[in-house]
């Protein structure tokens, strides 16, 4: 068992990201605020419906470890690694559903303001930081470290990690062998803004990465299966809140499984029946006009893709500019548009 991760495939994957774990990471990962993330899905809580295939429950905790290990592998910086580890510490159950609750469909940054508060209020974390002579403002915002995070569509540890692991879990876009081959080709390059950025040493590997990643990007970038899952969770949780069965604070208190149990045992017949239909749905309907008497949604969601750097004649160039194949894959994602409406045969 690697950093208290029980799934063997994720264990093996994390070992690819970093073979030598620094001792301090065990302490910072073991705090209760991080352990809570073990009950939160990385893939839109698709484990509770048949609309998106998945192999096993993949958690925000595992993602956070992955980001930290990537940062450590390339920087050997304790502060940057802890910032990477804690970047999702404020994530509630159902993750970006809270962004949808607040109307933040495209940026999906609603919870980030809570990160500093959670760290400051944790006796365990503040004690560790004091022990290591680290200030809260040095680790509470991973955006200040470009290897950990940067603006899309650049490649960062966060963007790299969820692309690899989500692709491993949902689409078989990546295998452990392909991840290891791709990961070994990464290095730190200087981008157009003279900032450090993860990039590839060889064009062939860079092309393989975006070709494999595009399978996952299609699934989570404007695809209506993903949109309807996220919007359904938003609406059913809103309804549960309106009827005083749960509160938004409960999303930070309970695991997703515990909240699903509350929905399944809800006294309201309409909520239970709607969830049962959602849980067993295997496909959605698509339409260019609104469909009445159905659960029908239309939203513009976040586009997820990367346009990484690659060395060409010892000069870092964006794959989109270095490869016709790369350009076509990225343009396909950028220009993808699903049906205007999507619907399920239920009412809520």
Domains of the chain in sequence order: 1-348 (1.10.3210.10)
Euclidean distance between the first and final Cα of the chain, in Å? 42
Question: For the segment 9-22, what is each residue's pLDDT rounded down to a tens digit?
Answer: 999 999 999 998 99
Cα separation values, 182 from 81, 174, 278, Å: 21, 10, 37
Which tokens belong to 46?
Answer: 């698709």
Query: Residues with Cβ < 8 Å from 162, sequence gap 6 or more?
Result: 42, 63
Sign for the CA dihedral angle at 42, 165, 223, 274 comes to: negative
Burial class (CB in 10 A: 0-12, 13-18, 19+), 147: buried
Sign for the CA dihedral angle at 18, 22, 26, 28 comes to: negative
Q: What is the pLDDT of residue 105?
A: 46
The Cα–Cα gap between 100 and 235 comes to 9
Which tokens belong to 243?
Answer: 């009827």
Of 85, 66, 82, nearest in space to 183 by CA: 66
SS3 for 31?
coil
Torsions phi, psi for 129 (to 5 deg) = -65, -40
Of 228, 151, 162, nearest in space to 197 by CA: 151
Count of CB atoms situated within 10 Å of the CB of 122: 18
Q: What is the pLDDT of residue 1?
A: 57
Torsions phi, psi for 316 (to 5 deg) = -70, 125
The pLDDT profile of the chain, 348 residues, written as one tens digit per residue, is 578 898 999 999 999 999 989 999 999 999 999 999 999 999 878 889 999 888 899 999 999 999 999 999 999 999 999 999 999 999 999 886 766 566 554 454 555 678 999 999 999 999 999 999 999 999 999 999 999 999 999 999 999 999 999 999 987 899 999 999 999 999 999 999 999 999 999 999 999 999 999 998 888 877 899 899 989 998 999 899 899 999 888 999 999 999 999 999 999 999 999 999 999 999 999 999 999 999 999 987 777 899 999 999 999 999 999 999 999 999 999 888 899 999 999 998
Query: Residues with Cβ < 8 Å from 64, sequence gap 6 or more?
Result: 29, 34, 37, 84, 85, 86, 87, 88, 89
Sign for the CA dihedral angle at 241, 246, 250, 255 comes to: negative
Which tokens belong to 244?
Answer: 């005083």
Contact 259, 310 (CB under 8 A): no
**pTM value?**
0.94
Contact 341, 291 (CB under 8 A): yes
Q: What is the pLDDT of residue 100?
A: 56
The Cα–Cα gap between 285 and 93 comes to 27
Q: What is the pLDDT of residue 263?
A: 97
The Cα–Cα gap between 289 and 348 comes to 19
């Amino acid at each position: 068992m690697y950093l208290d991760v029980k799934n063997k495939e994720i264990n093996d994957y994390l070992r690819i990201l970093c073979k030598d774990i620094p001792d301090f990471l065990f302490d910072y990962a073991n705090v209760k605020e991080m352990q809570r993330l073990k009950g939160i899905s990385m893939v839109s809580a698709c484990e509770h419906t048949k609309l998106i295939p998945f192999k096993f429950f993949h958690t925000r905790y595992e993602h956070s470890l992955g980001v930290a290990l990537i940062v450590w592998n390339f920087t050997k910086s304790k502060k940057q690694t802890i910032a990477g580890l804690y970047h999702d510490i404020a994530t509630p159950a159902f993750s970006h559903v809270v962004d949808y609750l607040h109307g933040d469909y495209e940026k999906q940054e609603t919870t980030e303001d809570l990160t500093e508060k959670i760290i400051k209020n944790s006796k365990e974390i503040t004690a560790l930081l004091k022990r290591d002579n680290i200030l809260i403002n040095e680790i509470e915002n991973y955006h200040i470290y470009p290897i950990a995070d940067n603006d899309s569509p650049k490649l960062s540890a966060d963007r790299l990690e969820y692309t690899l692991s989500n692709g491993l879990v949902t689409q078989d876009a990546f295998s452990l062998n392909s991840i290891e081959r791709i990961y070994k080709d990464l290095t730190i390059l200087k981008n157009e803004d003279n900032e450090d950025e993860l990039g590839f040493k060889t064009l062939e590997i860079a092309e393989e990465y975006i070709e494999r990643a595009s399978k996952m990007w299609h699934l989570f970038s404007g695809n209506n299966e993903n949109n309807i899952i996220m919007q359904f969770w938003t609406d059913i949780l809103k309804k549960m809140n309106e009827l005083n069965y749960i509160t938004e604070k409960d999303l930070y208190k309970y695991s997703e499984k515990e909240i699903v149990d509350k929905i399944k045992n809800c006294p309201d017949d309409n909520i239970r029946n709607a969830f049962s239909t959602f849980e067993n749905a295997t496909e959605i309907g698509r339409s260019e006009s609104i469909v009445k008497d159905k659960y029908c949604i239309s939203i513009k969601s976040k586009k997820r893709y990367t346009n990484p750097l690659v060395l060409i004649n010892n000069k870092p160039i964006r794959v989109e500019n270095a490869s016709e194949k790369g350009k076509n894959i990225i343009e396909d994602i950028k220009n993808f548009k699903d049906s205007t409406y999507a619907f399920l045969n239920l009412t809520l």
